[in-house]
A and B are shown apart, each in its own frame.
Chain A
Amino acid sequence: NAGVMQNPRHLVRRRGQEARLRCSPMKGHSHVYWYRQLPEEGLKFMVYLQKENIIDESGMPKERFSAEFPKEGPSILRIQQVVRGDSAAYFCASSPGEGYEQYFGPGTRLTVT
């Protein structure tokens, strides 16, 4: 049973470009969460999605960040007009339901130059 998959594993973008991060949940999981870990900081929640619905985006920055989980295909976290402060590890997690264990993917390390 494949785990949570994320790609790319490493992404380098210049300031002002767009970053698109992809996450495929574990088989049988329909709940997806995105977290960000800034250098030398803890893990912070960004957004919680189910298929075709954003359930909770209280942790998302108000501008430039968006997320989706379409009926078909992976969940996507999009960052427009990236700035150096966006450099971080972005982790996706999935669970089979609310309140259950969340399993993390390997993460995408975003570097903004």
Chain B
Amino acid sequence: DQQVKQNSPSLSVQEGRISILNCDYTNSMFDYFLWYKKYPAEGPTFLISISSIKDKNEDGRFTVFLNKSAKHLSLHIVPSQPGDSAVYFCAASAFGAAGNKLTFGGGTRVLVKP
């Protein structure tokens, strides 16, 4: 039972354009959502998070949107840069504590072309 799904395994975008990554979840108990970026041979690096009491959180070029009724969140990267090429994981946790167990999606590989 995959509680967090990233339906697009890969995404290719031109440098300077917007990258949109999508994530769906099924567990209504999830109340904290995070995005991580992973380069080869490195551990995942925290990117941005959002609590279920919000519908948007912005940090520089990165914005996460949460639609609780649809159980859907998305990550927007504007403008995309070649250094953004990596695998992006969506993750969710229950009870408002990111220090708790995280449930990850399968990842989306992003390639930003110069």
Same complex for A and B? Answer: no
User: Interface residues, chain B, CB within 8 Å of chain A?
Assistant: none
User: Interface residues, chain A, CB within 8 Å of chain B?
Assistant: none
